[in-house]
Amino acid sequence: MGNQFTTAYKWARGLTHSEGFGKPKFEGAACSNRTCEVPGFGTIQEDIKNFDTNNYVLAYEVVKGFPGFITSAVNTWSLERKGSNTLVSMHMKMQTKGFKGAIMGPMMKMQLKKTVTGVIDDLRVFVETGNPSDYKQKELTKNRKKAA
């Protein structure tokens, strides 16, 4: 999970590119920040807030690129062994402000819930097969056609 932070665009839906940068602040991390190209938002920047290889936790905060009515967005991933399986959890906490936040917040929550479910499935397929999910494959093909 954490070692895929810089190249998540290769397997996670909704990202057309991602790239890590900055000196790592946590042991085992490849970087301290990441930029992601997200259709509908453009470029966002995320800062790693927690990278714990012993407890399998990765948390990062979007610090640039979200609309002004979003005051904070922190995403936390965790892995937990359950017998011979692994439970993947993703929890996003988002704070909004003002009238736009009150109106747009619930709509964004619905969309993000759908996306989170899909991204977790993308991760499962990538871990199990080494290849992007069918959904992500279609997205990659579509993006290549746009670029050509």
Q: In the chain, where are the structural domains located?
A: 2-142
Residues 6+ apart with CB under 8 A from 4: 11, 126
Judged on CB neighbours under 10 Å (0-12, 13-18, 19+), 29 is buried
Q: How far apart are CA 18 and CA 14, in angstroms?
A: 11
CB 60 within 8 A of CB 75: yes
What does the alpha-carbon distance between residue 91 and residue 3 come to, in Å, rounded to a whole number?
19
Helix (H) or strand (E) holding 110: helix 98-129
| Rounded CA separation 48/34 (Å) | 8
Q: Which residue has the higher pLDDT, 112 or 99?
A: 99
pLDDT digit string (tens) for 114-124?
888 899 999 99
Q: How far is the C-alpha of 18 from the C-alpha of 43, rounded, in Å?
A: 9
| pTM (whole model) above 0.85 | yes
Strand pairing class (17-21; 42-52): unpaired
100-141: pLDDT as tens digits: 999 998 888 888 888 888 999 999 999 999 999 999 999 988
CATH number of 2-142, picked from 1.10.3720.10, 3.90.1150.10, 3.60.110.10, 3.30.530.20: 3.30.530.20
Question: Tokens standing for 52?
Answer: 């714990």
Inter-residue contact 118 to 13 (CB < 8 Å): yes
* Residue listed under structure tokens 């930029």: 35
